[in-house]
Amino acid sequence: MVRHDVAEGCEGYRGVFVGTKYMVVDCGGGTVDITVHAMDSEKGCLQELYKASGGPYGSVSVDIAFETLLESIFGADFIAQYKVMSCYFTTFANEK
């Protein structure tokens, strides 16, 4: 029995029906990129609804914003000293 609501070639995948739409969010270190696809009813293949777009919102930006927040709470000098001590202890622990 052939199901007409399932895209051809995708019968073994649950939830892959004609018209299924999904978003791909690629969160990298420097950027976050988002694109949207749908299962094409006529061709039985993927159709790109929205091309990849994004901006400089990756994990590096989050790290910088968090460090800025800590500096506003504890002061830039304290955070600079913490970074030096953190590197020292990390190096010391790795040498054992």
Per-residue pLDDT tens digits for 30-58: 889 999 988 876 666 788 898 888 888 88
Q: Are residues 28 and 44 in the same domain?
A: yes
Give φ, ψ of 62 to 5 degrees. -65, -45
Domain limits for position 27? 1-57
53 in Cβ contact with 43 (< 8 Å): no
Q: Are residues 7 and 50 in the same domain?
A: yes
Q: Are residues 35 and 51 in the same domain?
A: yes
Residue where the block lists tokens 């901006």: 55
**Percentage, residues of the chain above pLDDT 70:** 70
- Average pLDDT of every residue of the chain: 79
Residue 7 is given by DSSP the state P
6 in Cβ contact with 18 (< 8 Å): yes
Dist CA 62 CA 25 (whole Å) = 16
